[in-house]
Chain A
Amino acid sequence: MCRQLALAVGQPRRVRLSARDEFEALLVPALDAAWGTALRLTGNAGDAEDLLQDASLLAWRGFGSFEPGSNFRAWFFRILTNRFFSTWRKQKRSGTTLELEEAPELYLYTRAEELGLQQTPDPAGALLSKIDVETIEAALAALPDEFREVATLAFMQDLSYQEIADQMAIPVGTVRSRLHRARRLLQRALWSVAEGRGLLRGPVADSTGEP
């Protein structure tokens, strides 16, 4: 019912939005997280913007198939990741910057132990207080594509192994092993980037801020 008709029949408070306004009202709150996902999947801001635009236009054209009241964000993220894996990734595969040498388990835990942090109340918090978000982003970006992609979907969208497998069209067992390995590689990359940037020099504070 259009607004004028609603007014005429005595239901003046319900203003019907146009489909475009409705789409924008749902899209805008999802943009920060979608941008974060696009940035980490593509590895750079220019490609992330193109991917986000592509996905948004596709979503707008397919908005008729969106079921009102269902989870728009999940629907839109599926379009974004499908677009990335079906088209984008094939065209713009980036090079890898990290050697595929196996990273040991509990890498940071062991490093924290060597720094004597295991005696503090929050060893992980103490170590992470030295590592800024730029370092985390650089470490994630340094992972080989297949590991960065599963880690991105798991970190940014809270998806289950099965949901990641569906989005990437790979077996669920592959998702599981890649994700576990991605975390180990990421810990090692984090340490190496943080060390390279000189972030680990000097005393490491414990979680209470005491050096």
Chain B
Amino acid sequence: MPLPDRLTCEETFERLDDYLDRELDAAERRRVDEHLAVCDVCTAEYRFEATVLDALRDRLRRVRVPEAVRGRLLTRLREASP
């Protein structure tokens, strides 16, 4: 039986997306932290989701503008009047 101010697994899961997005306020964040500190199942789910998100973000950001695109852009800019 969880304490009244302690989140259940279900309540924690409902907050997981906002927690991952750092959109919970400090008090709510702390309640999720407290639950994760004592629940291996929720911690495994959280870690999995966080790792997937970080990896996607990281890989999608490793993009370089092609040289030709950059060259054409700078040429257009230099031709444009101020």
Contact = CB atoms under 8 A, between A and B. Distances in A.
A160 interface: yes
Contacts of A106: 45, 48-49
Contacts of A28: 70, 74
Interface string A126-161: 001000010011001000000000000011100011
B52 A128 contact: yes
Interface in A167-209: 176, 179-180, 183, 186-187
A39 interface: yes
Interface residues of B, number: 34
Contact of A49 (B63, B64, B72): B72
Interface string B14-56: 0001100101000000000000000000001101110111011
B63 A32 contact: yes
Interface string B62-74: 1111100110111
A53 interface: yes
Nearest to A35: B65
Contact of A52 (B45, B64, B73): B73
B51 A122 contact: yes
Given A57-B76, A128-B51, A180-B17, A33 B60 contact: no
Contact of B80 (A34, A60, A105, A161): A60
A192 to B, nearest CB: 15
10 smallest CB-CB distances across A and B, nearest first, come from A124-B51, A35-B65, A36-B63, A180-B17, A124-B48, A133-B59, A31-B65, A109-B48, A128-B55, A155-B57
10 contacts: A27-B77, A49-B69, A53-B76, A106-B45, A106-B48, A106-B49, A118-B44, A123-B48, A136-B59, A160-B23
Interface of A: 19-20, 23-24, 27-28, 31-36, 39-40, 45, 49, 52-53, 56-57, 60-61, 105-106, 108-109, 112, 118, 122-125, 128, 133, 136-137, 140, 154-156, 160-161, 176, 179-180, 183, 186-187
Given A49-B72, A53-B72, A53-B73, 8 more contacts: A20-B82, A56-B73, A57-B76, A124-B49, A155-B56, A155-B60, A176-B18, A183-B17
